[in-house]
Amino acid sequence: MHADLQETNWVPRSFQEAARNLAKEAVKHFVRPNQVIGLGSGSMAASIVREMANFDGKETLECIPTSFQIKLEAQCSGLKLVDENKMPEVDVVFDGADEVDAKFNMIKGGGGALLREKIVHSAAKRIVIAAESTKFVPTFSWPVPIEIHPFAIHIVKKKLEDIAGGRPKMRMLKEGYPYVTENGNFILDTSFDFPSDIRRQEVELKNIAGVIEVGLFTRHANAYYKAKEDGSFETIENQ
C-alpha cells in the first residue's frame, strides 16, 4: 500500500523539465480553437493545463474540470470553464495516471476524482495521458481506488473480500477521518492479485451493489506521454 495516494499538482524535480516539454508538444498536437476539453488530474495533466494558457485562441476553448484542484489550475491559466452540459461534445481529455500496465490499462483515482474522470473519458473523442516513466509498469502494484456509497461500506468491503479476493482499506485523512470525495462518497483502496483480464474485473467490481466507480480504466488512450528524468519524453500513439 502506498502511504499517500493523494495526487498533487507538484511535479518531482527530476521530471519538471520533461513535464514542460511534453506539455508543449501535447498542446501543439491536440488542441485546436473552439474545442471542448476535459481536464483530468495529476501533476503531468496540470502541466498541460498551464501550457494551455499560452495557446493562441485559448479564449475559444471550453474546459470541463474533473476536480476542484484542476479547476483552480485552469482558472489560474485563464481558461474558460463550462459545466457538464457540454459533456457530449468533449473533443479531447488530458489526464494523468497512477499506473499504466503493459497492455495500457490504467489505475487512476489517487486524487479521488475517478468517477468524474471516467465520465469525461467515456464522453471524449480522444484521450491523452501524461505520466512519469516510473508509472509505466509491467503489471499493476497499486491498490485500486473504489468509490462507494457510504450506506454500503460494510457490505461492499465484505463482497470485495469474499467474491473478488480483494484487500480493501478505507482511505483516511491525516486527521483520522474518512476521505470523502467531491461526490460525497468514500473510497476503498483495494489490493488485488490481478487476473489477466482486467476489463472483466472492472465490470465485475462495478456490478457490486454500492460501488459507484472503479479506478480501473480499460479504455485505451490515443496517446501516452512518458516523461523521463533526463527532461526528455517518449510519445506512444495508439490510433
- The per-residue pLDDT for range 98-156, each reduced to its tens digit, is 999 999 999 999 999 999 999 999 999 999 999 999 999 999 999 999 999 999 999 99
Please indicate, yes or no, whether residues 48 and 164 belong to a single structural domain of this protein: no
Residue 163: band (very low, low, confident or very high) from pLDDT cuts 50, 70, 90: confident
Please indicate, yes or no, whether residues 54 and 76 belong to a single structural domain of this protein: yes
Residue 2: band (very low, low, confident or very high) from pLDDT cuts 50, 70, 90: very low
Q: What is the largest CA-CA distance in the chain?
A: 54
Please indicate, yes or no, whether residues 67 and 120 belong to a single structural domain of this protein: yes
What is d(CA 40, CA 49) in angstroms, rounded to the nearest whole number? 10
- The per-residue pLDDT for range 15-60, each reduced to its tens digit, is 899 999 999 999 999 999 999 999 998 888 899 999 999 999 999 9
8 located within any domain: no
2 located within any domain: no
186: domain CATH number is: 3.30.70.260
- Stated pTM of the model: 0.91
What is d(CA 227, CA 239) in angstroms, rounded to the nearest whole number? 20
36 located within any domain: yes
Please indicate, yes or no, whether residues 128 and 178 belong to a single structural domain of this protein: no
Catalytic residue ranges: 117
What is the reported pLDDT for 7?
Answer: 44
6 located within any domain: no
Please indicate, yes or no, whether residues 78 and 155 belong to a single structural domain of this protein: no
Please indicate, yes or no, whether residues 46 and 112 belong to a single structural domain of this protein: yes
- The per-residue pLDDT for range 168-212, each reduced to its tens digit, is 999 999 999 999 999 999 999 999 988 789 999 999 999 999 999
The total domain count for the chain is 2
pLDDT at 3 over 60: no
- Name the residue with cell 501535447: 26
Per DSSP, the three-state class of 126 is strand
Please indicate, yes or no, whether residues 118 and 177 belong to a single structural domain of this protein: no
- Name the residue with cell 480504466: 217
- 41 is in which domain, residue-wise? 13-136+218-237
Residues 61-67 have a mean pLDDT of 96
